[in-house]
Chain A
Amino acid sequence: DVKVTQSSRYLVKRTGEKVFLECVQDMDHENMFWYRQDPGLGLRLIYFSYDVKMKEKGDIPEGYSVSREKKERFSLILESASTNQTSMYLCASSSTARDGSYEQYFGPGTRLTVT
């Protein structure tokens, strides 16, 4: 069974703390993604990576950075957490099929609260 796991289901951090969210996939996928989800706003792409050590900004990268040192692991970093980063964070991975289509597999999410 394919699997994307995230390091924490729930996390509470203080304003100004450095926060690491870890994501691991076991499907040998090239592409990995970080989204955040807020009520009324749907899922918004923060960053994605299409290969080891490669990254690209998504729609809302401000205040975040990422790291992909190994193919299976993609980390989201909040350098100095702020209350407006309280959200549900979702990681996903995917690989392109021969016909050009793809399927993103999502982790269970991390609900981060910054106080």
Chain B
Amino acid sequence: DAGVTQSPTHLIKTRGQQVTLRCSPKSGHDTVSWYQQALGQGPQFIFQYYEEEERQRGNFPDRFSGHQFPNYSSELNVNALLLGDSALYLCASSKGTGGKQPQHFGDGTRLSIL
């Protein structure tokens, strides 16, 4: 039973560039949420995708966008990268959007902006 998988594991970019991160949910899950975790802090909710639509969004600028595919996998895109975007980006999957559903995390993508 495959868990949540993310790629790439590490990425180095420069300011102003664009990046795409990928996530495959746990088998049986149809909802994908993305979180940003800065060093020494808790994960911050970016947005959530269900049925290929963005269902909820946290307090992140529209430089952060996403997509969900028919197979439930998801991408996170960040444009015009800033130094402050350096963080661990975590994907979590769950079943449905009704709340009270356990969210399981992937290993994350460590993004460094130079």
Chain A complexes with chain B: no
B residues with a Cβ closer than 8 A to A are none
